[in-house]
Chains A and B, each alone.
Chain A
Amino acid sequence: AQKVTQAQTEISVVEKEDVTLDCVYETRDTTYYLFWYKQPPSGELVFLIRRNSFDEQNEISGRYSWNFQKSTSSFNFTITASQVVDSAVYFCALSDYNAGNMLTFGGGTRLMVKP
């Protein structure tokens, strides 16, 4: 069975601070995909990144970076120099190769960035 755990339910930081959102996953499959989505107050889930299980390279996109470690089943997300516009709920999700489009989501982390 698939499971995604985001232990941090809420994080509050002051603008310009760096913040890391944790994600730990469980799956029996050797081929799987990991995702991060952002949900602003408007409700729409905005895609941020997809990683497959064979690609453990870390990725950086502007102020965002992701650290994928299969050894610890973690896929953590770091925002550098946070901004107020980063305030949102962030979801980590997992899709097994044989699960079609079914995404298993973590409970989400609410990030509040204060000016």
Chain B
Amino acid sequence: KAGVTQTPRYLIKTRGQQVTLSCSPISGHRSVSWYQQTPGQGLQFLFEYFSETQRNKGNFPGRFSGRQFSNSRSEMNVSTLELGDSALYLCASSLAPGGSNTQYFGPGTRLTVL
């Protein structure tokens, strides 16, 4: 079974631009979560989607948004990029929401903001 895939793997943008990252979950998984990893803040939860609905959101500004499609694929968008948005963005999928369902992570998208 294929794992979680994320595209693109690497991205370079300039301040003020916007970016869209894509995540395809493991086949059969309907829940997708996003995390940001930076050297300073570590791994932080961004948001979680299930059945095309955002169920939970972390403490991030409104510039960070996401959505989920009917095939469970998810995208996240960051508008008006800032230097501090440079990070590894990780997507995780699980069968359904809840800690009883293990989340499996993709390889991440490394975003660099210049």
| A residues lining the B interface (CB < 8 Å) | 32-33, 35, 37, 42-47, 50, 52, 91, 93, 95-97, 99-108
A100-B48 contact in complex given A45-B90, A91-B43, C-beta closer than 8 Å: yes
Docked-complex contact B103 and A101, CB < 8 angstroms? yes
Bound CA span A45–B51, Å: 24
Binding site secondary structure of chain B: strand
Q: How far is the CA of A105 from the CA of B45 in the complex (A)?
A: 9
- Compute the total of residue contacts between A and B using a CB distance below 8 Å: 72
Q: Does B108 contact A (CB under 8 A)?
A: yes
- Chain A residues near B102 (CB, 8 Å)? 35, 47, 50
Contacts of A99 in B (CB 8 A): 56, 99
Chain B hits for A106, CB < 8 A: 42
